[in-house]
Structure 1
C-alpha cells in the first residue's frame, strides 16, 4: 500500500471519528429540550378539530404559546449548562468549610445513642402530628393517594430498583389486594367461606399476591427488558379485563361497597370515621413504617445482595452460584405482596372499588414515581411518590385536568436528561451510572449520564 493511500485512509478514519458540533452532548440536550417544549406547546395548547387538522398548530403559533414553551426550554438548558458551575463551586466550598462540624456531628451520631433516638423521635413526631395542621382536602390527598401509592412504589422498587426487572403491570397486584379485601369481607357477589375483618384480610391478601407474583414470574424468568415489560403489561390487562367483564364475580364497572376499617373485640369496638382522615393516616403510616423497616433489613441481607448481583449482571451472578430463578421469583412475590397490602388499605379506606380504579395508567405513574425518586433507593422512592402525587393536586387550580400528566412527563424527560439516577439515588445505582458513563462497567443504564458532560 502506497503512502498516499495510507494518508487517504487515515484522513477518512479521522473524519469518521470526528464529532460534529451538533453531535456534542450539550447541543444534543438543547435539541431534546426544544423538542420537548414544542411538544408541550402542542399537547397543552388549543385542541384541534376534525375539519381542519392544522387548526391547533396555527392557533398555538399565533397566540405565542409555542414561543413561551420554547423560551422555557431554552432557559432550563442555559441555566443548567452555564449557570450551574458557579453554584456547584460554591456548594463545594461550603461543604469544605463544613467538613469539621459535620464530622463531629457524625461521630456524635455514631457514639451517642441518645442523639440518634432523639432525632428519630423528633422526625417521628413530625410525621405523626404534622399533618394535623393541613386542610381537610390535603389530609384526604395524603391518605387516599400519597400514603397508598407510597406502599405501591416501595413494592415496585423491589422488582425494578433491586432486581432490575421492568414491570409495567404492577398495579394488577394492587387490584388483586383490593378485590381480596372485597371478597373476604363479603362485599362481592360471590360469598367467601367465612367473612373476615379487614385486618385479618391482610395476610390472606399477601398470600394471594405472593401466589400471583410467582405465577407471573415462573413462566417469564427467561425474559428480560422489553420482553418482560410486554408480558407484565399483558398480565395487567388480563386482571383488569377479568375484573371488568366478570360482573357476576367482581361487580364489574358497577363496583362493590367494601367495609371500612373497624375493630370489634367484643368488649371494645372502634370504627374509623369517614370524615376524620387522621386515624386513617396514622394506620397507613404504621403500615408504611413496618414495610420500610422490613425492606431496609432485606436490602442489606443475603437476598438483597443477590438481587443486586442479578441486576448488574445476571450471567455473572449465575456463574458465581446465585440461584437466579429463586431470587427473581422472590422479587416478584415480595413486591407483589406489598402492593396487595396497599390494595387492602385502599379498598378498606375508600369503601368502594370497581374495575376502573385499576387502569394501566396507574402502573405507568407508579413506575415514574420510582424512576423519578431514584431506583433502588427507599428514601428516593418515598420522595418521588409523595412529590409526583402531590404535584397534580397542586396544579389543579392552574392546569387543565387533562394536561396534568403531561407536566409530569415533561418533568421526567428533564430528569432523564440531567439526572438519570433520580432525585435521591442509591449509592449503588449512582456508581453504576458513573461507570457506564466512563465506559468502565456493564451497568444496566439506559444511556450515558450526559448531564455531567460539557
Structure 2
C-alpha cells in the first residue's frame, strides 16, 4: 500500500479541489487558473518528449494543439451544439462522448504530426526547427481559409457541450476533465519513457548513429515519439477550446509554441518532474504579470523616458517571457531539474508511488 501513497494523495487533492469548486469555495477565476495549469502541464510534458527526451528541436508544438482544438470543437458542436442545426446526440450521452471526442482530436493531431516526423528523419537541430515553424504557419493559414469553421473569425459554440453536462448533473465538469486528462498525460508519458521505446528515444538523444549500430530503429522510434507528443498536445487543445468556449487560429501561433518551449527549458530537458513544476510556476507568473500595480512598478523607470507610453498586459507578457528564456540560458541552461526527476533528487520518494 505504501507504494501507492503519492498516487492516493494526488487523487485526494483532486477530489478536494472538485468539492471546493462544487460548493463555490474557490471562485471561477481560481478554477480557470487551475485549468490552465493543467493545460500547460500537458503542453510542457508532451513537448518535453521531443525537445528533452529525444534531443530534437521543434518550435511549432502549438500547431498540433490547434488541430486538436478545432477537431474536438467541430465534433462537440456537431453532437451537442446548435451551430449546425439541432444536436445530433442527447445531452445525457455527453459524459461518454466528450472524452471520446477529445481523444479523437488528439488522434487527428497525432496523425497530422507525420507531416513533421517524416521530414525530421533526415534533419536535426536548426533545420527541424525551421520545418516545425513552417508547419505551425501552414496549419494556421489553412484554418484561416476554412470559412465553414469560421476562418480567421474563429469558431465558437463549445459552451453548449459544457452546459449540457451541467444540465444533466451540476458540477465543475471542465475542471474534472482537465484534472483527468492531465493525470492521463503524465501517466502515458511516464509509462512510455520507461518502456523499451522510451529507452530507444533516450538512445537517439545520446547518439543516433550509435543507436542505429545497436539495432535501434531510429526512424520508427522518432515517429512514435513525435506522434505521442502531438497527440497529447491535441488533447490539450480540445480541452482549451471548451474552457474558453472560443477558438481562433491566431491563438495557436508561434507565440503559443514559444510558451511551451519556455516551460520545457525552465523545467529541464528530459525531466518529466521539471516540466510539471515549470508549468505550474510559469502559469503563476503569467497571472502575477496581470497585476496593474506590478506592471506600474516594473515600468516606472521607462516612464521617465517615455512618459506617454501605456503598454498593455500582453506587451509586458511578451517582454517578460523572452527575458525569462534569456535568463535561463545565461544562468541555468539545464533548467530547474536538469535531466533529473524528483525521485533522483529525493530517492526516498520512490517507495511512495508507482506508475505501473
TM-score interval, normalised by the smaller of the two chains: 0.7 to 0.9
CA contact (8 A) 2:48 2:270 kept: yes
Which of the numbers 111, 114, 136 marks the counterpart of 2:28?
136
SS at match of 2:269: coil
Matched, 1:184 2:71: no
Deviations 1:334-383 (A, max 9, x none): 10100111111122232221222212100011111111011211111011
Number of the residue aligned with 2:64: 173
Tell me, in whole angstroms, the C-alpha distance in 2 between the residues paired with 1:189 and 1:282: 26
Change in Cα spacing, 1:142 to 1:249, as seen in structure 2 (3 Å) is same
Which of the numbers 228, 236, 239 marks the counterpart of 2:139?
239
Matched, 1:253 2:152: yes
CA contact (8 A) 1:210 1:336 kept: yes
Tell me, in whole angstroms, the C-alpha distance in 1 between the residues paired with 2:42 and 2:332: 24
Number of the residue aligned with 1:419: 332
Number of the residue aligned with 1:353: 247
Matched, 1:408 2:354: no
Q: CA deviation at 1:417?
A: 2.4
How many pairs does the alignment contain? Answer: 305
Change in Cα spacing, 1:228 to 1:188, as seen in structure 2 (3 Å) is farther
Which residues of 2 match residues 276-355 of structure 1 at below 5 A? 278-355=172-249
TM-score by structure 1 length? 0.62
Which of the numbers 379, 388, 394 marks the counterpart of 2:288?
394
Tell me, in whole angstroms, the C-alpha distance in 1 between the residues paired with 2:250 and 2:83: 18
SS at match of 2:273: helix
4+ long deviations beyond 6 Å = 187-191
Change in Cα spacing, 1:261 to 1:160, as seen in structure 2 (3 Å) is farther
Tell me, in whole angstroms, the C-alpha distance in 1 between the residues paired with 2:5 and 2:108: 40
Q: CA deviation at 1:217?
A: 1.0
Tell me, in whole angstroms, the C-alpha distance in 2 between the residues paired with 1:221 and 1:341: 25
Q: CA deviation at 1:245?
A: 2.4
SS at match of 1:271: helix
Which is bigger in relative contact order (C-alpha 8 A, separation at least 6)?
2
Which of the numbers 260, 263, 278 marks the counterpart of 1:366?
260
Number of the residue aligned with 1:43: none
Structure number with larger C-alpha Rg: 1
CA contact (8 A) 2:265 2:328 kept: no
CA contact (8 A) 1:147 1:285 kept: yes
Tell me, in whole angstroms, the C-alpha distance in 2 between the residues paired with 1:379 and 1:119: 14
Number of the residue aligned with 2:298: none
Tell me, in whole angstroms, the C-alpha distance in 1 between the residues paired with 2:82 and 2:221: 35
Tell me, in whole angstroms, the C-alpha distance in 2 between the residues paired with 1:380 and 1:188: 42
Which of the numbers 207, 210, 216 marks the counterpart of 2:110?
210
Tell me, in whole angstroms, the C-alpha distance in 2 between the residues paired with 1:381 and 1:261: 33
CA contact (8 A) 1:198 1:348 kept: no
Q: CA deviation at 1:317?
A: 0.9
Tell me, in whole angstroms, the C-alpha distance in 2 between the residues paired with 1:117 and 1:286: 18
Q: CA deviation at 1:223?
A: 0.4
TM-score by structure 2 length? 0.78
SS at match of 1:164: coil
Change in Cα spacing, 1:362 to 1:188, as seen in structure 2 (3 Å) is farther
CA contact (8 A) 1:181 1:258 kept: no
Deviations 1:125-175 (A, max 9, x none): 2344258354432221222x2221211222111111111111111100011
Unaligned runs of 5+ in 2: 296-311, 345-356
Matched, 1:126 2:13: yes
Deviations 1:397-425 (A, max 9, x none): 11251112322333332222232211123
Which of the numbers 260, 266, 272 marks the counterpart of 1:378?
272
What do you get for the CA RMSD once the two structures are aligned?
2.8
